[in-house]
Amino acid sequence: MSAIASHDHFAAGRLERPAASASPGIWQQCRAWLARRSARAELERLDDRMLADIGITRGDIPSIVDGSYRPL
């Protein structure tokens, strides 16, 4: 019975967002991942001269995006 009750949001062929208390961390993680993906794409669109103008290299992009970048 609990298996049926826990999947009520699939009833009638519609998918609803789970209750806020179910897993708010997952939604935050998804938004953070999308933001990192977007930032990485924006930085990768810049040419090497533009990256040098802001004081980074192409190799710095992954660490900048994941937050571990430490300038020299």
Query: For 39-51, what is each residue's pLDDT tens digit?
Result: 999 999 999 999 9
- For residue 64, give every residue at least 6 positions away whose Cβ sits within 8 Å of its Cβ, in sequence order, or none: 39, 43, 56
Domain ranges for the chain, please list them: 23-72
Label residue 72 by pLDDT band (50, 70, 90): confident
Give the per-residue pLDDT at 28. 92
CA separation (Å) from 3 to 9, 12, 68? 12, 16, 42
pTM here is: 0.62
Query: For 13-60, what is each residue's pLDDT tens digit?
Result: 555 555 555 577 899 999 999 999 999 999 999 999 999 999 999 999
Give the per-residue pLDDT at 2. 45
